Amino acid sequence: MSAKRELHFFLGANTPNGFYSLYDRLYLPDRHLYIIKGGPGCGKSSFMRKIAAEVSKCGYLTEYIHCSGDPDSLDAVCFPELGVSYADGTAPHVLEPRCPGAGQSYIDLGSFYDLTALAPHREDMEALIKRGSGAYARAYSLLKASCAVGALPCPGEETVSAVLKRADGFIRREIRRNTDSPAPSLTERFLDAVTCRGHIVLFQTAHALAEKIFVLDGTPELSSLFLDRIAAASLERGWKVVRCPSPLAPAKTGHVLLPELKLGFISDSEPGSRCRHIRLASLARRHGDLPLPPPLRRLSAALMSDAESAFSEAKKIHDELEALYNPHVDFKGVYELASRHTAALLKAAEPAGSLLDNPEDIC
């Protein structure tokens, strides 16, 4: 049995403007995408988790895509060395085949419902769906208020210049030019998300991809300036870049990982870690850009806490909905289908030529 090789990311984010999706990044020319359809409680996450557990045990790189609403649930699993991905293609991250049968295929887990047994529960289900939509609407409204209260003016020119100068210094010291086999590529994944369990950062992935990690101490605007400079220079110098957008402002960069250089630049400090710190906030203060006043910081944090509570309420409602469905799902059939997919994947991987040319790719 081979050692497990795992990465964990999100492909969706709960933002002040609603759900933001990167699920279209799963459409890749060298990857077959199985799009799973089916309603609540039909076993989509369990189906993917069963396949991933068996494939991972065989030593193949496995990328777990967690649900930003419920991080304990899976929304996708990817096997880059096998050229296959599986994804939940239902709302809010609806996926449909672009090249049916050739590039993508459906898997209908809704076929394992006992429709006759579910019919009497329709009114209760509709009521729960309505309540869940209301909880999400409240959560997004509170997120928007929290970000509005916590917003800072754009940094001044002197601060911007100082941050970029600091980034250029790191580029000279840490990011050499790739002269061996330069194949630059940009992958986008969320490393963190605002969830029903609060703000979660998947630090284990940063440590899996980087031996040296720098933590940025500063506002999201300053961190994004620094990280965009790092990412652009890394691509120009021939390296693979994993850009992780900020979940509250996806246009901004929250983290950058450089797997081939074993380098990571992240905007969140892991409790108990001994990572090196890049103190951008001190540059801002030195050039007259002041931090958010404490009363506004407290108000923004309180609104964020209320938003997280609303996401937690939405999760509880979804659990109630799944509890109505679960007794009327043929899970034996779901797991048997997962076993058939697993067997087919591993059989197809037996000839050496069937694996991807570059097993270090993570996307």
Question: Cα–Cα distance between 356 and 333 in angstroms, integer?
Answer: 31
What is the band of 351 on the pLDDT scale with cuts at 50, 70, 90? low
Report pLDDT for 116.
97
Give the pTM: 0.93
**pLDDT at residue 122 is higher than 70:** yes
Q: Span 17-21, mean pLDDT?
A: 97
What is the band of 251 on the pLDDT scale with cuts at 50, 70, 90? very high
Could you give the percent of the chain with pLDDT greater than 70?
95
Q: Are 218 and 246 in contact (CB under 8 A)?
A: no
Three-state DSSP class for 191?
coil
**pLDDT at residue 356 is higher than 60:** no
Tally of helices (H runs) and strands (E runs) in the chain: 9, 16
Query: Domain coordinates of the chain in residue numbers?
Result: 6-113+329-354, 120-150+293-313, 157-286
Query: Across the chain, what does the average pLDDT equal?
Result: 93
Question: Cα–Cα distance between 353 and 363 in angstroms, integer?
Answer: 19
Report pLDDT for 361.
34
Cα–Cα separations (whole angstroms), residue 226 to 216, 239, 255: 9, 17, 10
Question: Cα–Cα distance between 132 and 135 in angstroms, integer?
Answer: 5
Q: What are the percentages of helix, strand and coil residues in the chain, rounded to 5? A: 45, 25, 30
